[in-house]
Amino acid sequence: MTLLATADAGTTCYSRLTNDWLCWQYVSDYRTEITDATLQHLAITLVSVLAALALSFPLALLARRVPRLETAILGVATGLYTIPSVALLPLLVPFTGLSPVTVVIGLALYALTVLVRAFLDGLRSVPADVTESATGLGYGRGRLLLAVELPLAVPVVMAGLRVATVSTVALTTVGSLVAYGGLGNLIADGVTSDFRAELLTASVLCVVIAVLLDVVLVLLQRLLTPWTRTAAA
């Protein structure tokens, strides 16, 4: 769409004659389109990060369990991040079509670079004497992982998750290449048509989403690690 073309010349702050950067009238007139794009952006971001978490955790466990595979796993994860998004998404299109799935797969692969390493570093940050004590108390591998190692690894993992989430918010805009970029669709249209209000509004909303998700993750970390608040007090 090219919303700028629909405005009568001189009648709005986003007409061709004025084309203001700040234009509340544009936000009011096209709030449905803006809301839909924002919700799509948020949904794609969240699903991509969750998919990356589901993939990175077992990969990190495998790398820790079989040390000789660690270099290969980290190398592949890092290598995926070096592929430009403008190349990766079109490469996926023949298999997934022009759909949100294409964007989610691409973004999840990019997030693996941060999350696999975050899980590995988090698990390794657990003091050896803690795991030895738990083992001595009869904890098996599964119980040790879930009840001891993962909770203590939360601060490191959450730090990586915050980085991955914020970067995914930004990368979601690239989904406009396949028509599923959320706010990226508005940004692309704003750049193409020199529509300042559309471009600025979509860009600001991307920043707002990134900040809000980061705040949510910080609060979640505090909820999952109550002992850190006790120590700080």
Between the two ends of the chain, the Cα-to-Cα distance in Å is 54
Q: Which domain holds residue 140?
A: 20-224
Domain presence at residue 9: no
Whether residue 162 lies inside any domain: the answer is yes
Check pLDDT > 70 for residue 146. Answer: yes
Amino acid found at 113:
T
pTM (2 d.p.): 0.88
DSSP for 47-111, please give it: HHHHHHHHHHHHHHHHHHHSHHHHHHHHHHHHHHHTS-HHHHHHHHHHHH-SSHHHHHHHHHHHH
Give a yes or no: residue 200 inside a domain: yes
Whether residue 232 has pLDDT greater than 80: no
Of residues 6 and 112, which shows the higher confidence score? 112
In CATH, what number is assigned to the domain containing residue 25?
1.10.3720.10
Encode pLDDT of 33-48 as tens digits. Answer: 999 999 999 999 999 9
Q: Does residue 11 fall inside a structural domain?
A: no
Asked whether residue 232 is domain-assigned, the answer is: no
Structural domain includes residue 13 = no
At residue 17, the pLDDT reads 75
- Residue-wise pLDDT for 181-212, tens only, equals 999 999 998 888 888 889 999 999 999 999 99
- For 28, how many CA atoms within 13 A lie in the half-sphere containing its CB? 7
Domain count, the chain: 1
The answer to the question of residue 46 being in a domain is yes
Is 14 inside a domain boundary? no
